[in-house]
Structure 1
Amino acid sequence: MDQHLVAGNTVDLSSYVPQHFGWEQRGAVGVITLNRPERKNPLTFDSYAELRDLFRKLCYVPDVKAIVVQGAGGNFCSGGDVHEIIGPLTKMTMPDLLAFTRMTGDLVKAMRACPQPVIAAIDGVCAGAGAIIAMASDLRVGTARSKTAFLFTRVGLAGCDMGACAILPRIVGQGRASDLLYTGRSLGGEEAYSWGFLNRLVEPEQVLDTGVALATDLANGPSFGHAMTKKMLHQEWAMGVDEAIESEAQAQAICMMTQDFHRAYHAFVAKQKPVFEGD
């Protein structure tokens, strides 16, 4: 980034220590670990907000080029903590309830808005808001023993939580999304892979390494191009085909101005593998 733009437009996470989950930077890959394994890594009011704020910051962290989200102890995330979230929600006023549901939705908005590809490394329980975090990720690596469940109707709520009715049908199709959102049933790993919810199916001991390897491969690629791909995948949901084609023409022309595009051409001519730098 040009030195004139650094101030106010970059955030340094080298000393970042979150209070409610783990964070580790492996080169250009950031690894988020939901780390309450004794309760299958549930979310709290505080962890929702801190995750939202981190994903917002990632828009300004150019040295982190891909993200992996995992859970500790053989499970991904069991959703909102029954005692720390569900109980208090039953006593809140409507304005406070709306503030909460908007905050949880803002986490998904932040995940979709950050330029880095987000990879969920899913093992074991992946339920409720945990299933939403997996859904909101760009790619998902899972295991045969993973169980993904959108549990909202099981607790008397609607299946339309945190963007589920908009995003999930685009991943697995309207009929399959309806099945999951109406029934709240668990989607096993092999079925999730056959449906296209999981992009990779691996052994439990390989799930994090596979997620990090995939993230590293993306981080070593044209990160500006990946950010543009993510933006267009999200933006074109509300477009007609003609609008989408025009938007992609503009996006691709912008990418053709990058140095990575020129590096790729010169590497091809020299019969070498391009080394991308993200500019």
Structure 2
Amino acid sequence: MKASQYQAQHFLWSVQDGVGTLTLNRPERKNPLTFESYAEMRDLFRGLAQAEDCKVAVLSGAGGNFSSGGDVHEIIGPLTRMAMPELLAFTHMTGDLVKAIRACPQPIIAALDGVCAGAGAILAMASDIRLATARTKTAFLFTRVGLAGCDMGACAILPRLIGQGRASELLFTGRTMTAEEGERWGFHNRLVEPEALMDAARELALSLAAGPTFAHGMTKTQLNVEWDMGLDAAIEAEAQAQAICMQTADFRRAYEAFAAKRAPVFEGN
């Protein structure tokens, strides 16, 4: 798959210098998600595992907001009229989107501004790194629409990011987490000015794309699989993973560059 050749139908997508940028692009509605955009994002992230021309991806939203979550009229309304098999097919699809984000080897950077709510907050949560602005407002507001907070992996992932107590509060109440809280609690990696958000995200993405991308994929894999491991199993898994990385050409390139007193140029293999 050539990620740069992919023509998105329900959001904007471009690839430049190894960095893919996905922009939710319904700014007049604060970039809500639809059945179609859920499915297309799931398929795109699944395909990125075979995309050698995309080494990092940035998630963003147009018009000063990230995403307001599932569209009230195009998703929530129809869901109230569905039978259980259809509802389960939908919740499996949305969960598969998070699985695809976590499973793709590329680091995913979420560039967050303004509203980041519901499934939008889940997309941010599922990403590897989150940059935000002071006006970012994040809310896991499922209880506000009569649903449980356990949506799309929230009860598994959010406590690992911000702690059990803070995650419980957000998931039970559906209240907004301010940008300052998000940074202090470890949800946001850092806050930047709104006008500098995309430049900061791209700068970080380019720095990661210039790194040892095979090794980055290994890091992401271990971050995922070690959730369910004891310490001994995790150390053994990392020993095997690191031994594999030691066989890569990038490892040799780094050594040769160090010996020659120059910066290494990684090629991802």
Q: TM-score, normalised by structure 1?
A: 0.96
Q: SS where residue 68 of structure 1 aligns?
A: strand
Distance 1:154 1:13 in 2: 37
Q: How does 1:123-202 map to 2 (within 5 A)?
A: 123-202=113-192
Residue 259 of structure 1 pairs with residue 232 of structure 2:
no
Distance 2:249 2:186 in 1: 34
Q: SS where residue 49 of structure 2 aligns?
A: helix
Q: Which runs of 4+ in 1 moved over 4 A?
A: none
Q: SS where residue 86 of structure 2 aligns?
A: helix
Which deviations, in whole Å up to 9, do the C-alpha atoms of 1:127-186 show, x marking residues without a partner? 000000000000000001000000001111100000000000111111111111111111
- Over the matched positions of the two proteins, sequence identity in percent amounts to 70
Q: SS where residue 176 of structure 1 aligns?
A: helix
Q: CA deviation at 1:241?
A: 0.6
Q: CA deviation at 1:63?
A: 1.3
Cα root mean square deviation, aligned: 0.6
Residue 78 of structure 1 pairs with residue 68 of structure 2:
yes
2:133·2:191 contact (CA, 8 Å) conserved in 1?
yes
Q: CA deviation at 1:268?
A: 1.0
Other-structure match for 1:62: 52
Residue 206 of structure 1 pairs with residue 196 of structure 2:
yes
2:3·2:53 contact (CA, 8 Å) conserved in 1?
no
Which deviations, in whole Å up to 9, do the C-alpha atoms of 1:227-252 show, x marking residues without a partner? 00000000000111100000000000
Other-structure match for 2:90: 100
Residue 230 of structure 1 pairs with residue 220 of structure 2:
yes
Distance 2:131 2:156 in 1: 21
Other-structure match for 1:3: none
Distance 2:263 2:186 in 1: 30
Other-structure match for 2:104: 114
Which deviations, in whole Å up to 9, do the C-alpha atoms of 1:28-81 show, x marking residues without a partner? 000000000000000000000000000000000011000000000000000000
Other-structure match for 2:9: 19
Q: SS where residue 79 of structure 1 aligns?
A: coil
Residue 269 of structure 1 pairs with residue 259 of structure 2:
yes
Distance 2:73 2:226 in 1: 39
Structure 1 unaligned runs (5+)? Answer: 1-10
Q: CA deviation at 1:271?
A: 1.3
Distance 2:167 2:143 in 1: 13
Structure 2 unaligned runs (5+)? Answer: none
Q: CA deviation at 1:209?
A: 1.0
Q: SS where residue 14 of structure 1 aligns?
A: helix
Distance 1:263 1:178 in 2: 46
Other-structure match for 1:33: 23
Distance 1:13 1:134 in 2: 21
Q: SS where residue 31 of structure 1 aligns?
A: strand
Give the letter aligned to residue 102 of structure 1. Answer: H
Give the letter aligned to residue 27 of structure 1. Answer: D
Q: SS where residue 122 of structure 2 aligns?
A: helix
Q: TM-score, normalised by structure 2?
A: 0.99
Which deviations, in whole Å up to 9, do the C-alpha atoms of 1:213-268 show, x marking residues without a partner? 11110000000110000000000001111000000000000000001111111111
Distance 1:269 1:223 in 2: 22
